[in-house]
Amino acid sequence: MKHILSLIAVLLIGCSPSWSEGPYEVYWIDGVKSLGFNVGDGAYIGRIDEPKFINANEKFISVYACPEESCAYYYIDRSKDHKFAEPTEFVFGPYSQEAFMGLQQKLLLPELSTK
């Protein structure tokens, strides 16, 4: 019985998001890792696929992601995001590291450590 409870606990921990802040969470569906907007009851609206590094502040979420094995920098404007919005309204990128660093200083985006 102990082994079954231990196995269930491991499975539940493995299903939990690796990053979460407010309605945003990292989740997995069919082996694809995504950053999305949690709308409740286990449902998400995808924002950015294959995030590697994420950092957030009150206004923005900075993301280094590798969707389709092409890595780049992105940011989400939290003030414009809601569950009915189109991602093109508030998800910006892809950017090179140099372009993102300029935006980071200009907009006060959260810093990303990609190491």
Total domains in the chain come to 1
Q: Is residue 113 in a domain?
A: no
Q: How far apart are CA 68 and CA 94, in angstroms?
A: 12
Contacts of 75 (CB under 8 A, 6+ apart): 60, 61, 62, 63, 91, 92, 93, 100, 103, 107, 109
| Residue 67 lies in domain | 17-107
- Give the count of alpha carbons within 13 A of 45, CB side only: 12
Residue 77 maps to a domain: yes
State the CB neighbour count (10 A cutoff) for residue 65: 22
102 within some domain:
yes
- Tell me the per-residue pLDDT of 13-67, one tens digit each, with 9 for 90 and over: 344 458 999 899 999 999 999 999 999 998 999 999 999 999 999 999 999 999 9
Report yes or no on 76 lying in a domain. Answer: yes
Could you give the 3-state DSSP secondary structure of residue 88?
helix
Is 94 inside any structural domain? yes
> Could you tell me if residue 72 is inside a domain?
yes
Q: Tell me if 10 is assigned to some domain.
A: no
Tell me the per-residue pLDDT of 80-109, one tens digit each, with 9 for 90 and over.
998 888 888 999 999 999 999 999 999 999
**Residue 103 lies inside a defined structural domain of this protein:** yes
